[in-house]
Structure 1
Amino acid sequence: MPEKKPIPPETTKELTYTEKVWYTVGIVAIVAVLILIARVAFGVLLMALAGCLISIYFHGLGDVIERKTKWKRLPCMIISIAGSFIILGFLLWFMGSKIQIQISQLSDTLPLSIGKLKLSLDETPLGRKVLEATSGGSSEKLFATASQFFSTSFGVLGNMYIILFLGIFFTASPSLYKDGLVLLVPPDHKELARRIINRTSLTIKGWLKGTMFSMILLIVLMPIGLSIMGVPLALVLGLLAGILVIVPNFGSLIAMIPGVLLAFTISTNTAIIVALIYIGVQTLVQNIIAPIIQKKMINMPPALTIVGQLIMGVLGGAMGIIMAVPALAIMMILVDEIYVKKINPK
């Protein structure tokens, strides 16, 4: 029997410790760059979505003007855009100085209201327990979170001019961008893409209609109720409640906090009544009137909305929270058209 020659071991080059360190650093750097690019791209997508909402608003208002007047499309769109800016400018000119004064007073009054609330809570055993639970690190963390939220919100306001220009461009030639999206889809699915775009536009129009009507009602009703109770700065509190209606679930709670704190400067009973006014008006507007206007075009489970807001908030900050509902609506339409209708055809 001939002897078997031993198989020579494979020659492999061992990496030195320095090379391993540099490989690890390189991998971590690549992953970090990819995450950063995804984060930035997500922010750009949110601004593009906000621009689409502005465009849908202008076209929706143009549709209403066209139906009522039977005019051609171009003058209706000019009236829609120019009229919106004129009304906004008039409101800012008419109420801007008063709102600015009240905002300044609110920033000066809130610390005093918080101090008075602490004194009121310190008079009862339950209140002392609440103060103990919120003292120290918990309160510092709460104030830090609030500061981060408002600084992020001001960052969102800083990007408004970009969103506004995107909205104007989308409004000027919507078919250009719509056809461009359809061109990216394979020929067999172009009809599906057009159906998804049209359905998304109709759904977002319904959401915008209900949200804007809710905003107007809150801006009108809330100052009336607060003025009846003698709460100061009712105009800016109503404006804050109307603006924050765009943030479901959390917006109403955030809007209620300064109103209740200012009511504490009058009396505890006034603060309780003011809290009930906030809850009653916001429940009436957001849970009864808005769904009727939207005609159930967006029927999202509340838990899904909250989870979506938390995820969007982590990814996109305040802008992500604001855009959570329309983004979820688009995702639900995509899942329904691409997946659900395929496995459950009617």
Structure 2
Amino acid sequence: MSSENKQPTNKSIQKELTYIQKVWHTVAIVALLVVVILIARVAFNVLLMVLAGTLIAVYFHGLGDMIERKTKWKRGLSMAVSVVGSFIILAILFWFMGTKIANQVSVLSHTLPNTIHTAKEKMAETDIGSQILANLSDDNSDQLFTTAKQFFSTSFGVMGDLYIILFLAIFFTTNPDLYKNGIISLIPEDKKDLGRHVINRISLSLKGWLKGMMLSMVLVFILLTLGLGVMSIPVALVLALLAGLLKLIPNFGSLVAMIPGVLLGLTISTNTAIIVALMYIVTQTVVSYVVTPIIQKKMIDLPPALTILAQVLMGTLSGVLGVILAVPLLAILMILVDELYVKKINPVT
């Protein structure tokens, strides 16, 4: 029999089987990595929802602490007033302002396309405005819209996240010691005091952030409602409410909130748009750099550049929820690094 008709040797067969095994091993490793990455991303989103629920629980307990100090009531009664009172206040606000806000939102949604068209015409009358419009081509606008749409999306959906967050907040508010002690039980015995110290410091920092953020949102809403109302800007209440809510997103939120106000100002006159822009800038500056730092004295000082990087990273990973929680999450990480690596403190007695 000729050499061409010889059957494959055992050595060549073994070689071929080894190669196939390596290919399948590689495929399995890649598939496993993909699954791990997907699970990690979902787990990270769940972690953010846990943090959001914790922040709401911290708010209820902080308000309960204040009620207990002022009235000398028992803890249970103070917490009941804190939770029930907060929901009652929200219900009253929606009752009195809901119809007006809904009407103004409807007006804004119907008039916004015409407002943008009018603003473009007024911008085209100036050299700087013409250059800006030239850079904002249709392709760039579509790309910006697509990016914004992706940016303001989350894995489970905003409403789904909200339901989960509210349920977590209720559980954390009802029995916080159960979860706190559960975390401490995972820490080695000789480090439990340090663990309690770190948890208490994180709680104090989150309370400071919440107090500053909530007061900032209310002040921005009140100041812009008065200012835009005096300027006779249409749908002033909605614009002020939007600016107050977007205060949750440091740096970027203020810029986004200013856009519709300036566009509506342009429909009146260029000078009105400039005054409206200055009003937004002054209000945000006073609240951000004067009022908020006074309230947030106990919160860790966060470098602005690091805050922006954290927001961009969190926005890419988890959408709007990540952007909102970027600052408290960064504060928690910096406290952990400070306590566990930088200071190397002894366990607190």
Instruction: Output the TM-score relative to the length of structure 1.
Output: 0.92
Judge which range, 242-251 or 129-138, deviates more.
129-138
How many angstroms does 1:152 deviate by? 4.5
| Pairs within 5 Å for 1:198-237 | 198-237=200-239
Say whether the 8 Å CA contact 2:300–2:335 is kept in structure 1: no
Q: Quick one: which amino acid aligns to residue 165 of structure 1?
A: F
- Separation in 2, partners of 1:201, 1:343: 19
Partner of 2:40 in structure 1? 38
Partner of 2:88 in structure 1? 86
- For the pair 1:49 / 2:55, whether they are aligned, the reply is no
Match of 1:159, SS state, is: helix
Say whether the 8 Å CA contact 1:153–1:318 is kept in structure 2: no
- For the pair 1:115 / 2:117, whether they are aligned, the reply is yes
User: Which of 315, 328, 331 is equivalent to 1:329?
Assistant: 331
Partner of 2:74 in structure 1? 72
- Separation in 1, partners of 2:58, 2:144: 37
Structure 1 pair 296–176 and aligned structure 2 pair: CA distance change class (3 A): closer
- Separation in 2, partners of 1:183, 1:13: 53
Match of 1:230, SS state, is: coil
User: Which of 162, 165, 170 is equivalent to 1:163?
Assistant: 165
How many angstroms does 1:165 deviate by? 1.1
How many angstroms does 1:191 deviate by? 0.8
Partner of 2:317 in structure 1? 315
How many angstroms does 1:63 deviate by? 0.4
- Separation in 1, partners of 2:168, 2:106: 32
Structure 1 pair 231–39 and aligned structure 2 pair: CA distance change class (3 A): same
Say whether the 8 Å CA contact 2:315–2:322 is kept in structure 1: yes
Structure 1 pair 63–296 and aligned structure 2 pair: CA distance change class (3 A): closer
Q: Quick one: which amino acid aligns to residue 325 of structure 2?
A: M
Q: Deviations over 1:304-346 (max 9, x none)?
A: 100111111112111110000110010011001100012999x
Partner of 2:100 in structure 1? 98
How many angstroms does 1:23 deviate by? 3.5
Say whether the 8 Å CA contact 2:42–2:155 is kept in structure 1: no
Structure 1 pair 175–156 and aligned structure 2 pair: CA distance change class (3 A): same
- Separation in 2, partners of 1:133, 1:32: 39
Judge which range, 137-146 or 329-338, deviates more.
137-146
User: Which of 134, 144, 150 is equivalent to 1:148?
Assistant: 150
Q: Deviations over 1:27-71 (max 9, x none)?
A: 221111101000000000000000000110000000000000011
Partner of 1:246 in structure 2? 248
Say whether the 8 Å CA contact 1:207–1:298 is kept in structure 2: no
Q: Deviations over 1:266-325 (max 9, x none)?
A: 111100100000000011011110110112523111001001111111121111100001
How many angstroms does 1:219 deviate by? 1.3
Partner of 1:173 in structure 2? 175
Question: Percent identity between the aligned chains?
Answer: 63
Judge which range, 137-146 or 12-21, deviates more.
12-21
- Separation in 2, partners of 1:147, 1:179: 41
Q: How many residues align?
A: 336
Say whether the 8 Å CA contact 2:205–2:299 is kept in structure 1: yes
Partner of 2:8 in structure 1? none
Q: Quick one: which amino acid aligns to residue 301 of structure 1?
A: P
- Separation in 2, partners of 1:89, 1:252: 27
- Separation in 2, partners of 1:154, 1:297: 31
- Separation in 1, partners of 2:306, 2:184: 29
The two structures, once aligned, show a CA RMSD in angstroms of 2.1
Question: Please, which runs of 5 or more residues in structure 1 have no aligned partner?
Answer: 1-8
User: Which of 46, 50, 62 is equivalent to 2:64?
Assistant: 62
Q: Quick one: which amino acid aligns to residue 137 of structure 1?
A: D
Instruction: Output the TM-score relative to the length of structure 2.
Output: 0.91
- For the pair 1:342 / 2:344, whether they are aligned, the reply is yes
- Separation in 1, partners of 2:159, 2:244: 16
- Separation in 2, partners of 1:45, 1:223: 36
| Pairs within 5 Å for 1:121-136 | 121-136=123-138
Question: Please, which runs of 5 or more residues in structure 2 have no aligned partner?
Answer: 1-10
